[in-house]
Amino acid sequence: MVAKGEDKILEELVSIVGKENATAAKHIRYAYSYDLSFVKPKLPDYVVMATTVEQIQGIMKFANREKIPVVPYTAGTNIGGLCIPERGGILLDLKRMNKIIRIDDESHYAVIEPGVSHAQLATELYKYNLRWSWPVGPPSASSSSCAISHGIGGLSGRYGLNSEEITSMEVVLPTGELVRVGSCAIQEDSWHSVLPLPQLDGLFKGWLGSSGVVTKIGLRVHPIPPVLKVFTVSTKDIEDMVSYMRNLGNYEICDDLTAVSWWLAQVPIPSPYIPKPDGAPEWFCFGTTFSWTEKEKEAREEIWQMALGEEQKKGTSIKYAEYPEEALKARTQLPSQIVGSTKNYTKMAGGGISWPGTFTPVNKWAPVYNEWKKILVDHNLSPSVRVTNYRGVHYGMLRAMIPFNKKSPEATENARQAIVECLKVDLDAGGIPYKPPVDFAAEINKRAHPGYLSLLRQVKKLLDPNDIMNSGKLGI
């Protein structure tokens, strides 16, 4: 409830953004209090929709002066509780800031506002035969938020994380000051690169909206080669799949190299757990390649056949596998309207889904997955796990998508416990969770070098002296 006397705060917010863009109405605040994850709902005190940079500056200056928490929000499609207010305050909804400012089809970058969705950006890029590294997520999700949160996409096997594709930023600090990082900081209309300057964009990537509000961002985009070929195989176990993905990844021919367990290959994910049918492969892999000519495609196929032959000589269980056409569309016709729909994950469970999503070296996938499988099955949850190579074989993603019945507190807590247990196993193996809810941050910080935590605190204090920006999310 908004306490008596706090209407002065609402009056100030209305004076900044207008009456139609600021509210303390409980039914609206409730809509921003939860997501699909196990994170417990928490109400903001106010919801504000900004439409200009100047409005955001006004909100942040006011909030900083009055020490009111602010939580930045775009589409709210994450499944880590990242936008659930830990300490109430102002929920700053940025979805109306949805302009595509520029598409440079010669230097191959786009400049967008935070509310631009994957679908919106894709529609414009395709006019220039350009693409971005679209995640297998809802088309309504924010491209900017995906990038600053170290999101992944269909080009991560070639180019790495979407955060590695950032070329410049404009940011409003928690104090209301407007800053720029990258080439646009030196020449206002130049957005091509964060180098060779100090990479100050790192102050705003991976900070879970706790260091500033990104109001404009430059993203590298890429031409779309016309010839598609997807290589698909299956194996009986994770060890054989890891061997294949490490081997094929060495040749760096795939835009995306991903494998999923049998449970994640089902649509929807079985919930509660059901055993895999006898004789069915436990792992399926797709390697997506795009080529400019048929000869280039044939050369990639020759390399793939060589890698496949090398695995067969090892005596592994690898086999060529037909992949369902609909599932392939979900990997190649991006932004995805198939697997990217959360209902495909949660339909059997009851509307809840969360994850231990981690960046884990390829050589740790098998031992960690085998431990995860035991934990999840013990909790009557499907071991619906995905592994993906980044930039060849440098590192990769190990992620479990865990649906659960969100209407049941017992089922939600069971999923939370299983996910945190899985997270501990991965952290002990050297993996790092991404887009982490506070429960994850606590486990990270238990293992962190004291100098690392001290540096985080110093940077946070410098940028956000009154700790108003998405307070509590870092767990420090």
Q: What is the mean pLDDT of residues 14-34?
A: 97
Please tell me whether the peptide bond between 139 and the residue prior to it is cis, using omega within 30 degrees of 0: no
| Contact between 381 and 271 (Cβ < 8 Å) | yes
Please give the pLDDT value at position 6: 54
Mean pLDDT of the chain: 94
CA angle 397, 399, 403 (to 5 degrees): 160
Please give the pLDDT value at position 216: 98
* pLDDT tens per residue across span 142-182: 999 999 999 999 999 999 999 999 999 999 999 999 999 99
Residue linked to tokens 């069915």 = 280
| Contact between 184 and 218 (Cβ < 8 Å) | yes
Strands 90-93 and 70-73: parallel
Residue linked to tokens 């091509």 = 192
| Contact between 90 and 64 (Cβ < 8 Å) | no
pLDDT class of 453 with cuts at 50, 70, 90: very high
Longest dimension (CA), the chain: 75
- Ordered structural domains, the chain, with CATH: 7-93 (3.30.43.10), 100-223 (3.30.465.10), 227-436 (3.40.462.10)
* pLDDT tens per residue across span 342-376: 556 677 777 899 999 999 999 999 999 999 999 99
Please give the pLDDT value at position 1: 41
Q: Which of 8, 94, 5, 105 is nearest to 47 (CA)?
A: 94
Q: Quick one: residue 392, left, alpha or beta (phi over 0 = left, psi -120 to 50 = alpha)?
A: left
Please give the pLDDT value at position 2: 46
Q: Which two tokens stand for residue 386?
A: 């995905």
Please give the pLDDT value at position 324: 65
Q: Which two tokens stand for residue 170?
A: 């404009």
| Contact between 432 and 444 (Cβ < 8 Å) | yes
* pLDDT for 458 beyond 80: yes
Q: What is the mean pLDDT of residues 279-288?
A: 95
pTM beyond 0.85:
yes
DSSP state of 282: S
Q: What is the mean pLDDT of residues 302-319?
A: 97
pLDDT class of 285 with cuts at 50, 70, 90: very high
* pLDDT tens per residue across span 5-17: 558 999 999 999 9
Cα(211)–Cα(360) distance, integer angstroms: 26
Q: Which residue has the higher pLDDT, 77 or 191?
A: 191
Please give the pLDDT value at position 4: 46
pLDDT class of 326 with cuts at 50, 70, 90: low
Q: Which two tokens stand for residue 334?
A: 């991006």
* pLDDT for 390 beyond 70: yes
Cα(360)–Cα(358) distance, integer angstroms: 6
DSSP state of 463: H
Please give the pLDDT value at position 137: 80
pLDDT class of 314 with cuts at 50, 70, 90: very high
The strands making up 432-433's β-sheet, listed across from edge to edge, are 319-320, 227-235, 283-291, 256-261, 385-390, 395-400, 357-359, 432-433
Please give the pLDDT value at position 325: 73
pLDDT class of 267 with cuts at 50, 70, 90: confident
DSSP state of 128: T
Cα(189)–Cα(264) distance, integer angstroms: 45
